[in-house]
Amino acid sequence: EKKRYDREFLLGFQFIFASL
Amino acid sequence: GKLSLGEGLEKHPLENRWALWFFKNDRNRAWRDNLHLLTKFDTVEDFWALYSHIQLASKLSSGCDYALFKDGIEPMWEDCRNKHGGRWLVSLAKQQRQSNLDRLWLETLLCLVGEAFEEYSEEVCGAVVNVRTKGDKIAIWTSEAENQPAVTFIGRVFKDRLGLSPKVVIGYQAHADTATKSNSFTKNKFVV
């Protein structure tokens, strides 16, 4: 199965990184 | 609970491994010598770790580029995966560097690493942002300019994801036409 991620999912990880 | 990034927490794999390239214009050196491979990544987490540690496109000097390409494809027309392809080109006005460039480039990156182009994602080779005094540019490169269904689908999704007005028209140019042009204008093979 192809690994596809929508923008909201990807952006959620940005905020995790920003808060560390 | 407290967020743990310890052992056992697996990263989210991407469909492709991607390579980030940086181009810094030095007229005393050959074009190829100004192109540098920065790093490669293949997980969501490593994408953000990289993105968080590099300069925003809007902070780069004029003449610089970032290019994000699938591992194994060099960001140049001559690469065998590019030479029959072309690019969807978004040209920005000078004042958009401060207002829009970083948002549009990040959106472009998310389209690539997230495989936003569905069954046509395999046609995507990479994307380039050119930071230029006369106006910045963002482009998505695809591998086959004659593949109209794929090229037009990718163009429509790209335009939609960038949030461009329906009144704005973006064009797709074959690299073969760009490479042989006799002036600064390359004809559009497709528009959306």
In this model, does residue A7 exceed pLDDT 50? yes
Taking contacts as CB-CB distances below 8 angstroms, the residues of chain B near A14 are 48, 51-52
Of B49, B52, B114, the CB nearest to A10: B114
Of B12, B14, B48, the CB nearest to A17: B48
pLDDT on residue A2: 87
Burial class (CB in 10 A: 0-12, 13-18, 19+), B96: middle
pLDDT band of residue A3 (cuts 50, 70, 90) is: very high
Strand pairing partners for B36? B22
ipTM associated with this complex = 0.89
What are B93-132's pLDDT values in tens digits?
999 999 999 999 999 999 999 999 999 999 999 999 999 9
B1's CB contacts (< 8 A; 6+ apart) are none
Helix A7-19 and helix B44-51: axis angle, to 10°?
A: 60
pLDDT on residue B186: 83
User: Coil, helix or strand for B114?
Assistant: coil
In this model, does residue A11 exceed pLDDT 90? yes
Taking contacts as CB-CB distances below 8 angstroms, the residues of chain B near A18 are 52
Q: Which residues of A touch B (CB under 8 A)?
A: 2-7, 9-11, 13-14, 16-18, 20
In this model, does residue A17 exceed pLDDT 90? no
Of B15, B113, B118, the CB nearest to A10: B113
User: Coil, helix or strand for B51?
Assistant: helix
Helix B148-162 and helix B102-113: axis angle, to 10°?
A: 130
In this prediction, the residues of chain B whose per-residue pLDDT falls under 50 are 1-2
Taking contacts as CB-CB distances below 8 angstroms, the residues of chain B near A6 are 114, 116
CB B192 within 8 A of CB B152: yes
B51 CB within 8 Å of a chain A CB: yes
CB B29 within 8 A of CB B61: no
B105's CB contacts (< 8 A; 6+ apart) are B57, B66, B129, B138
Chain B residue with Cα closest to A9: B114
DSSP code at position B140: E
Contact B52 A11 (CB under 8 A): no
Please give the Cα distance from B187 to B174 (Å, whole number): 9
Please give the Cα distance from B188 to B172 (Å, whole number): 5
